[in-house]
Amino acid sequence: MKVTPWEVEGEVDYERLLREFGAAPLDIRGMELPKPVLLPLRRGYFYAHRDFDKFVEDWREGKRVSIVTGRGPSGPMHLGHILPFYTAKWFQDKMDAFVFIPISDDEKYLVKRKLKVKDVESFALNNVLDILSVGFNPEKTRIAIDMKDTELYRPAVVVSKRVTFSTMRALFGLTQESNVGWVFYPAMQMVHLYIPQILYGPHRVLVPVAIDQDPYIRVARDVAESIGLVKTAGLLSKFMPSLESPSGKMSTSDGGEEKVIWLTDDRDTIRRKIMKYAFSGGQPTVEEHRKYGGRPEIDVSFLYLYYFFEEDDRKIREIEEGYRSGELLTGELKDYAAKKIADFLEAHQKRKEKLLRRDLEDVVESFSFREDERRRIKEWGREF
């Protein structure tokens, strides 16, 4: 197992990661969350946290809360990329959270040798359209693109004075041969996490991310108070399982384009990919399956339904029990999962089509920093 913010390899042991990273295990019983509780939150996809309890408490007390979740534009987005934004939208809908969405075109440009500026620029625009198709409220959502919204450089200078090369190296696996942009980038990412506080004063900001991104949260927490900000809170998830492995991470790195579900895939394509590639917890033959039953806990189709797509608690229990008993066959389970995923993506695609009929510049503008917000960023941090 190898898990860093830029690389995930092998079978992931989530409990070990939790211990190594030193985050707290998540137990939402006793937390007064708005109903219905977000599926990945109540079904254990989010399984660890830092100060999530304080975040919920602040919200209950009527205080302002914010969410930061970003995107590194290295290509088109797949299912695993978009789900965090639906999580962010839940917090916006249910807790009135301000949502900040940083697009780190600088990071992807600096880290991926072959990418040119025009590549990351074009991916950034493409990705922004998908993110906006989630349906955020433009009054309470801002999107910034690092190499376009360069005001962010100024607070990044303030932050970067407080972190040494050796700290960044230990956290992010930099080497002596890393380019100096890459060395600096974590300071930009720390600023991303601070932006809601820079815009609207100190308050609790929650970062819902996969656990491999926890080092960024840790270093942001370490510095926050020295620059007058509240420590960043983190809500840490497992990885979106890849089609071929329940404990892998959905990624184009190994499997290529064919083995992930793209946001643009149609119903037939989704069904074909699930049927062909989704790792099954069932038995090799129907007879054996009927006799011994399947293992839902390692079945990718089941896990997708369980974590993301089957809201109905009774229904998911029926599926789990039916599959375990052998009554529900793998083909039937896959068929149902493919249908639910296709329903979800069709709704997403419809919102995107609607978006594409509008003036895109206007749309993007309505989610960009307002003039007074840019001024606040430019004036922040004089006393540090």
Burial of 364 (0-12, 13-18, 19+ CB in 10 A): middle
Q: Nearer Cβ to a second copy, position 6 or 292? A: 6
How far is CA 155 from each of CA 146, 163, 367, 383, rounded to the nearest angstrom? 12, 13, 21, 12
Amino acid at 115: L
In the set 21, 47, 184, 304, which binds a second copy (CB under 8 A)? 184
Omega before 36 within 30 of 0, i.e. cis: yes
In the set 180, 286, 347, 356, which binds a second copy (CB under 8 A)? 180
Q: Nearer Cβ to a second copy, position 12 or 120? A: 120
- DSSP SS3 for 47: strand
Is 103 one of the binding residues for a second copy (CB under 8 A)? no
Is 165 one of the binding residues for a second copy (CB under 8 A)? yes
Amino acid at 116: K
Minimum Å distance from CB 144 to a second copy? 12
Is 109 one of the binding residues for a second copy (CB under 8 A)? yes
Q: Nearer Cβ to a second copy, position 33 or 111? A: 111
Is 166 one of the binding residues for a second copy (CB under 8 A)? yes
Q: Which two tokens stand for residue 360?
A: 């895109």
Residues 274-293 that bind a second copy (CB under 8 A): none
Four-residue CA torsion sign, 34, 38, 42, 44: negative
Q: Nearer Cβ to a second copy, position 45 or 109? A: 109
Is 317 one of the binding residues for a second copy (CB under 8 A)? no
Q: What are phi and psi of 173, to 5 degrees?
A: 65, 30
CB 361: neighbour CB atoms within 10 A? Answer: 8
Is 376 one of the binding residues for a second copy (CB under 8 A)? no
CB 203: neighbour CB atoms within 10 A? Answer: 16
Is 4 one of the binding residues for a second copy (CB under 8 A)? no
Q: Which two tokens stand for residue 346?
A: 């069709």
Q: Which two tokens stand for residue 332?
A: 């039937």
Minimum Å distance from CB 205 to a second copy? 22
Interacting span for a second copy (CB under 8 A) from 23-31, 136-144, 172-180, 228-236: 172-180
Is 382 one of the binding residues for a second copy (CB under 8 A)? yes
Is 174 one of the binding residues for a second copy (CB under 8 A)? yes
In the set 42, 60, 140, 162, which binds a second copy (CB under 8 A)? 162
Q: Which two tokens stand for residue 230?
A: 């509240």
Residues 115-154 that bind a second copy (CB under 8 A): 116-118, 121, 146-148, 150-154
Is 161 one of the binding residues for a second copy (CB under 8 A)? yes
Interacting span for a second copy (CB under 8 A) from 110-118, 269-277, 284-292, 319-327: 110-118
* Rounded Cα distance, 191 and 19, in Å: 27
Residues 211/3, Cβ–Cβ less than 8 Å: yes
Q: Which two tokens stand for residue 268?
A: 């037939």
Q: Which residues bind a second copy (CB under 8 A)?
A: 106, 109-110, 116-118, 121, 146-148, 150-154, 156-158, 160-166, 168-169, 174-184, 186-187, 378, 381-384
